[in-house]
């Protein structure tokens, strides 16, 4: 899972790319990069948080009215500076690309690129493979005259080639020197990609991003999602062209609404905040059916992703909602930390129990999901140590039983607690008095997505875009 943004503007874009990355920081904390163009590419990459990487001098140096930016949460490739996006290649004409998603045939394509076509790959990421596929597609399409529609037809041919070769999830923002901003989304629309427009005295500016969380701050109006299998092109003069190249079953990742996206985002026409409210309501109704005689004294969210669902849960039960765990906002999201020990350690660093809300009480903890179980177990220990008499734990997401191969850090069955333990065993592992999961039916109903079949491979094992060969 990563965050991407591409902007076409009448004025230099670097400052607004930076602001966009700040709004997307929750989608990746490992690294970030920005790339602009004005006759040539201007690039800045770094490891760490956005605010640590870019200086005012960097922003001033990144010239041009078209640019891309990326925050990285690695699910493919390593943690080296060479793996940081956006990536670029010099031929044909100069292409840059930033990508959110995962290619399930990354290994096969890499072998083909290096062993058969003798191309050099400088990183270990599948994004560089996508970049080379796009370059190959443009080479095969041939050069186009300055006529914009003729070039767009060539670009459509190139992206069709990418879609015919790449399997998995990919939302892409790219730019071509001397041509413009090129955006496309995989035929199933697994990873999100939202578009926005801003009217100015000189024309219309466009933005394409993983979420619309920065649109209001930058003055953009949401103009809907890039459709599955769609290509969008904004040329140097700000003319916009779009075309759906491949229509397949729309299957956006349901985990975006459960955990990854910010609550103020709207994805696929669905408010993340409203979806999480419904998750809490439906989970509370499920609790009332399963445990009609058990009523907690207080409902406490595992902050911050769970706050919205916990508020609705408490209201449905008619009990008190309390922020019984204070979260230090300067500690990163533990789920997307690269190593298990770091996650467990950082739970205690980032969460402090509010003992007045917990001591002597029956506490119900609501979390967005239980993936590995390590974070949940540490939260339960904190609440128990703070003096809770009973602890109930509920998850707004059903049991995560299968790995995700499309961009979420759920890499193997061995790491997923629900794939290896029964509900009673998970209850014992967490150290709670009662445990309850959301049902798949209630989750789908809560999200109310425009897709009739959202991607829930991590929950039901149905992989719409295939799996890696050795999975």
Report the catalytic residues.
Answer: 2
What SS3 class is residue 391?
Answer: strand
| Helices and strands: H and E segment counts in the chain | 17, 22
Cis bond upstream, residue 178 (ω within 30): no
Residues 6+ apart with CB under 8 A from 292: none
Question: Could you give the CA distance from residue 253 to residue 463 in angstroms, rounded to a whole number?
Answer: 11
What SS3 class is residue 266?
Answer: strand
What's the per-residue H, E or C state across the chain?
CCEEEEEECCCCCHHHHHHHHHHCHHHCCCEEEEEEECCCEEEEEEECCHHHHCCHHHHHHCCCCEEEEEEECCCCCCCCHHHCCCEEECCCCCEEEEEEEEECCHHHHHHHHHHHCCCCCCCCCHHHHHHHHHHHHHHHHCCCCCCHHHHHHHHHHHHHHHHHHCCEEEEEEEEECCCEEEEEECCCCCCCCEEEEEEECCEEEEEEECCCCCHHHHCCEEEEECCCCEEEEEECCCCEEEEECCCCCCCCECHHHHHHCCCCCEECCEEHHHHHHHHHHHHHHHHHHHCCCCCCCEEEECCCCCHHHHHHHHHHHCCEECCCEEECCCCCCHHHCCCHHHHHHHHHHHEEECHHHHCCCEEEEEECCCCCCHHHHHHHHHHHHCCCCEEEEEECCCCCCCCCCCCCCCCCHHHCHHHHCCHHHHHHHHCCCEEEECCHHHHHHHHCCCCCCCECHHHHCCCCCCCCCCC
Q: Residue 326: beta bridge partners?
A: 352
Question: Could you give the CA distance from residue 45 to residue 32 in angstroms, rounded to a whole number?
Answer: 6
CB–CB of 122/89 below 8 Å? no
Q: Closest Cα to residue 310, out of 383, 366, 391, 394? A: 366
């Amino acid at each position: 899972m990563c965050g991407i943004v591409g902007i076409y503007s009448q004025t230099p874009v670097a400052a607004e790319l930076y602001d966009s990355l700040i709004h997307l920081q929750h989608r990746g904390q490992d690294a970030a990069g920005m790339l602009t163009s004005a006759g040539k590419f201007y690039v800045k990459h770094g490891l760490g948080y956005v605010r640590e990487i870019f200086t005012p001098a960097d922003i001033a140096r990144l010239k041009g009215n078209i640019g891309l930016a990326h925050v990285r949460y690695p699910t493919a490739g390593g943690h080296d500076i060479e793996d940081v996006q956006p990536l670029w290649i010099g031929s044909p004409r100069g292409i840059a690309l930033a990508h959110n998603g995962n290619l399930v045939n990354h290994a096969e394509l890499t072998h083909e690129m290096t062993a058969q076509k003798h191309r050099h790959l400088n990183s270990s990421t599948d994004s560089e493979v996508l970049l080379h596929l796009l370059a190959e597609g443009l080479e095969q399409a041939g050069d186009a005259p300055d006529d914009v529609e003729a070039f767009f037809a060539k670009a459509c041919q190139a992206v069709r080639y990418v879609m015919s070769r790449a399997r998995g999830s990919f939302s892409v923002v790219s730019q071509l020197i001397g041509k413009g901003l090129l955006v496309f989304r995989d035929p199933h629309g697994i990873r999100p990609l939202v578009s926005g427009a801003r009217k100015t005295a000189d024309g219309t500016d466009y933005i394409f991003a993983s979420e619309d969380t920065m649109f209001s701050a930058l003055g953009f109006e949401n103009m809907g999602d890039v459709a599955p299998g769609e290509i969008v092109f904004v040329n140097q003069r700000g003319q916009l062209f779009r075309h759906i190249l491949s229509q397949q079953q729309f299957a956006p990742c349901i985990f975006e609404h459960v955990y990854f996206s910010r609550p103020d985002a709207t994805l696929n026409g669905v408010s993340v905040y409203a979806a999480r409210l419904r998750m809490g309501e439906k989970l509370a109704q499920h609790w009332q059916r399963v445990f009609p005689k058990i009523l907690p004294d207080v409902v406490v969210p595992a902050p911050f992703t769970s706050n919205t669902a916990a508020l609705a849960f408490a209201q449905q039960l008619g009990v008190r909602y309390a922020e019984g765990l204070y979260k230090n906002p300067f500690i990163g999201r533990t789920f997307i930390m690269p190593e298990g020990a770091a996650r467990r350690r950082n739970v205690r660093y980032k969460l402090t129990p509010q003992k007045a809300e917990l001591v002597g009480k029956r506490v119900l903890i609501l979390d967005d999901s239980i993936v590995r179980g390590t974070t949940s177990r540490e939260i339960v220990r904190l609440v128990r140590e703070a003096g809770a008499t009973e602890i109930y734990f509920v998850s707004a997401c059903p049991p995560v039983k299968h790995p995700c191969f499309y961009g979420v850090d759920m890499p193997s069955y061995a790491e997923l607690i629900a794939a290896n333990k029964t509900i009673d065993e998970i209850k014992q592992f967490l150290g709670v008095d009662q445990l309850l999961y959301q049902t798949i039916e209630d989750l789908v109903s809560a999200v109310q997505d425009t897709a009739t079949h959202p991607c829930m491979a991590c929950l039901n094992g149905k992989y719409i875009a295939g799996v890696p060969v050795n999975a």
